[in-house]
Amino acid sequence: MNELAPIDRCSRCHGNGIYGGHLPPSKYAGPWRWCTCAAAMFRREAEPNAVEDANRARDTLIQIGEKASKQSNLKQVVQAAIEDD
């Protein structure tokens, strides 16, 4: 059986119970996940939806970023067309 890391000494989640959640274009981009440490055990019991809530917020940020990127690209295309006239 694996020993659980002390709550404040987990190198993966640093005592938060969840890890990940990096946004693109990070090479570590990916969803939030439950850790396997003691902090995760306690947090999962206290906040069973923490990972799902964090991933929902992450997905919203990604959608906002994609929309802003498309709008920015559109502005650049319009500006280039204006400058070509």
pTM (predicted TM-score): 0.73
Assess if residue 1 is contained within a domain.
no
Q: Distance of CA 70 to CAs 17, 43, 77, Å?
A: 35, 38, 11
28 in a domain, yes or no?
yes
Nearest residue to 58 via CA among 22, 83, 28: 22
Does residue 33 belong to any structural domain of this protein? yes
Q: pLDDT digit string (tens) for 23-74? A: 988 999 999 999 999 999 999 999 999 999 999 999 999 999 888 888 887 7
Parent domain of 41: 7-84
Looking at residue 34, its amino acid is W
Q: Closest Cα partner for 44 from 34, 57, 54?
A: 34
